[in-house]
Structure 1
Amino acid sequence: MSNTFPPIRPITTSPLHHWFGYYDKCQIDPTNRYALSMGVGFEHRSPRGKDAIKLGLIDMEGNDTWTEFATTQAWCWQQGCMLQWVPNSNTDIIWNDREDDHFISKIYNTKTGQTRTLPKAVYTLSPNGKTAIGTDFRRINHMRPGYGYAGITDPNHNISAPEDAGIYTLNLETGESELIVTIAEVAKISYPHGDISEARHYFNHLLFNTDGSRFIFLHRWRFGEGTFHTRMLTANANGSNLHVVDDYGKMSHFIWRDPHTILGWAYHPSQNNKFYLYEDQTQNTPQPIGPDTMTVNGHCTYLPGNKWILNDTYPSKDSRNQILYLYHVDSGKRIDLGIFPSPEPYTGEWRCDLHPRFSPNGQFITIDSAHAGNGRQIYRIDIGDII
């Protein structure tokens, strides 16, 4: 590693393989002291229905001590078990689990040590910490292993666009749930580039905006065993006022900049594959951002204040290097934070993307990486001297 890169340290170590998962979840508590982590004893294969992983707290001010607080059987390699701190809380941690023949979520209070169970699995939480939305992880696993959960068969396996599956709300206090957007209704929305009525449909990648008024979801479909097609939609928090943000078929990673603006890697006929800024609920042409510096797909987030974009790359084809970097929005300057080779076995479903996450104070970031040769582990990188 170059000496010009900022300080980095592992905050987990073998023999368990540790990771956090997706880049749009809150890994670090409001005090910036504790990091959430998942741990498992194997790699390089799909999870099976009874495979359990451990969940732990890392005390970054206490020699990175890892303290287990739960296990779960509802997880995948890319997004884990949706483990995250509940917004607007200093004590509550939420994750998904399995109970008999259905997926649920649990909330653990770090102060009382008590855990309570909610009847549905969660995908994204509103910023006020009172509501979650979720979708059918059984169907995701059937349609795209690596993002859903194994062990429970999709009851709509043979139905291309089910009426009784889609996006639901979940009250985190009462457990009350309601189906608010169905796969069937979204599949019927006209697609200008072809007839998709005979395709098989599902939803993935749900994310509330920054004030909880609307959320994003990706509508994906494929014909037979063909490639996936994607369009991005948004909706009000109650599922009303559906809006197609992008329907060119290739939307990938995205993040809300503010309640009305979305940054995403996508194809658009104006400038091909790039990061674009989209204005929600308008038909305005998206504007490219960082076209000469953020030139490849990555897992993007805005640091607090929206002056910096945190991003990464997939492994390069020749050296399998993953690059972590910051992009300064006003100046267009890019600052590389590290180069992390991804060993050959980490491909496909069980690849180890960096998935960079930032701390609440914006002073450090964490990544998942397998570059050190002891399996996937979590690393902390301090960026206070840069921003």
Structure 2
Amino acid sequence: MATNLPTTEAAMISCATPEAGHFFFGYYDKSPWHLSGRWMLAGRATFQDRAPKSDDRLTVGLIDLERSCAFIPLAETLAWNWQQGCMLQWLDEKHIVFNDRRSDRFVAVIVNVRTGEQRELPRPVYTLCPTRGIATSLNFARLHRLRPGYGYAGLPDPTAGDAAPEDDGLWMMDLRDGEAERVFSIEQARRILPKQVQGSGPHWLNHAQFAPGGRRLAVLHRWRSSAEPGPWHTRMLTLNADGGEPYPLVDAGMCSHYDWRDETHLLAFARVAGMEGEAKALDGFFRFRDRTAEAVSLAPQRLSEDGHCSYSPDRQWILNDTYPDPADQCRTLMLVRAADGEVFEIGRFFSPMPDQAEIRCDLHPRWSPDGRQVCIDSIHEGRRAMYTVDVTALVSRCNGTWEF
């Protein structure tokens, strides 16, 4: 599957969090690093063996990498999960944003890390636009009900009786004044499905991400065929930031993790129906061209399973991981050279799958801003902790112009 690094160029792996407490960051589509490289964002929990309840608090703060990885608490939140934390992320060089539950609603909180000053916004954030002061927002109570592990406990879902509500969906919120507008509804997503596959079960949206230029974004549309609990179908929609020109880019029933390469291309682990010369649908990593049927397979013989994929800042590398190998319960961390699909394994980490899937500890690898380090969440030493992996030797030795 992978090319192992020579011993002399093995990646340097270091624990970046204190020994007391359980630390993690969250999802793979955000970076915990400050642009200076000195601080990293982290969440600290007092337990790790169950899902968060409505009264469980997560402490958010900074890891000072130049002071023996000391943890500096900044705030607490009641809106978090093990998969994506509280959507903690840098807003700029001195402000962070995260979600919380206050006054019987989910909100976003902006904190000045230098002064401690806080400002509250009326809706929770999902992802920030890279070019404008706006953020996407979703209904985290609906996510908690329909996709445990990705929403927040503590509030009822007001849309519970509606399979595809018109008044809920993808929202855009101005980070300056909190003004929010629903730009694309769940009912709109259902309407552009063929009627024969719409089903009678619930629909929801998840995993929104802007293209680098901020003009277009992608979101996963999921639904169940019946109202009974069970497996779901997934497709990827792309649309303008104002909700216009929605396009079903990945539409064969399965789409998982993804990342934008540039303004018009995305990499995703997905199902593609009947490619040329193939009689049946294929699952794998594909590069999709927005608003077209183009799908190009990436290293199908070496990358056959789902993983949390993201492009390096220079777009020459793809960071990826796996779920646990049934043989030894280890997750693999890897880099994929975008030019030719060559796979370089940079670590394997013990991580058993718990009975309650939503409390698992995925690696969720993230890039540093300079593309020289990787940060993961891991439980291989018996507690949740964040680790940094220095990949300078590999990316320096093996760099090349990407073509994929």
**TM-score after normalising by structure 2:** 0.92
Give the Cα separation in 2 of the matches to 1:3 and 1:326. 14
Q: Aligned partners of 2:94, 2:114: CA distance in 1, in Å?
A: 6
Indicate the residue corresponding to 2:268 in structure 1. Answer: 264
Give the number of equivalent residue pairs.
382
Within the alignment, does 1:338 sit opposite 2:347 as a pair? yes
- Write the mapping of 1:245-264 to structure 2, written as runs, cut at 5 A: 245-264=249-268
Q: Which of 39, 42, 48 lines up with 2:44 in the alignment?
A: 39
Instruction: Give the match for residue 304 of structure 2.
Output: 295
Native 8 Å contact 2:26 2:85 kept in 1: yes
2:18–2:71 CA contact under 8 A, matched in 1: no
Q: Aligned pair 1:214/2:207, yes or no?
A: no
1:153 alignment counterpart: 156
Listed one character per residue, the Cα deviations across residues 263-313 of structure 1 (whole Å, up to 9, x for unaligned) are 0001112261110001111233x1101212222110000001111100000
Secondary structure of residue in 1 paired with 2:99: strand
Taking the aligned partners of 2:354 and 2:223, their CA distance within structure 1 comes to 28
- Please give the secondary structure, in 2, of the residue aligned with 1:139: helix
Within a 5 Å distance, the mapping from 1:99-138 to structure 2 comes to 99-138=102-141
Q: Structure 2 CA distance, aligned partners of 1:381 and 1:141?
A: 32
Corresponding residue number in structure 1 for 2:402: none
1:350 to 348, 355, 359: 359
In 1: Cα distance, 2:353 partner to 2:313 partner: 35
In structure 1, how many angstroms separate the alpha carbons of the residues matched to 2:174 and 2:293?
Answer: 33
The secondary structure found in structure 2 opposite 1:185 is helix
- Does the alignment pair 1:362 with 2:371? yes
Shift of 1:153: 0.5
- Report the residue type matching 1:328 in the other structure: R
Q: Which residue of 2 aligns with 1:327?
A: 336
* Corresponding residue of 2:323: 314
Hey, what does 1:81 align to over in structure 2?
Answer: 86
Shift of 1:347: 5.5
**Partners in 2 of 1:85 and 1:377 — Cα distance?**
20
8 Å CA contact retained: 1:204, 1:219: yes
Residue in 2 aligned with 1:228?
Answer: 232
CA RMSD of aligned residues (A): 1.6
**Cα separation, 2, equivalents of 1:111 and 1:211:** 29
Q: In the alignment, which of 19, 23, 26 is matched to residue 24 of structure 2?
A: 19
Of 377, 380, 384, the match for 2:385: 377
1:7 has 2:12 as partner: yes
Match for 2:68: what amino acid? N
Q: Which letter does structure 2 place at the counterpart of 1:148?
A: G
State how far apart, in whole Å, the 2-side matches of 1:360 and 1:18 are.
Answer: 21
Distance 2:174 2:16 in 1: 34
| Identity %, equivalent residues | 39
* Residue of structure 2 equivalent to 1:280: 290
Measure how far apart 1:84 and its partner are: 0.6
CA contact (8 A) 2:183 2:242 kept: yes
The letter for the 1-side match of 2:375 is: T
Looking at structure 2, the residues matched to 144 and 345 of structure 1 have their Cα atoms a distance apart, in angstroms, of 17
Counterpart of 1:143 in structure 2 is 146
Q: Give the CA deviation at 1:352.
A: 0.3
C-alpha spacing 1:304/1:72, structure 2 compared with 1 (3 Å): same
SS in 2 for 1:368: strand
What is the CA–CA distance in structure 1 between the aligned matches of 2:189 and 2:132, rounded to whole Å? 27
Q: Per the alignment, do residues 346 and 335 of structure 1 end up closer, same or farther by CA in structure 2, a change over 3 Å counting?
A: farther
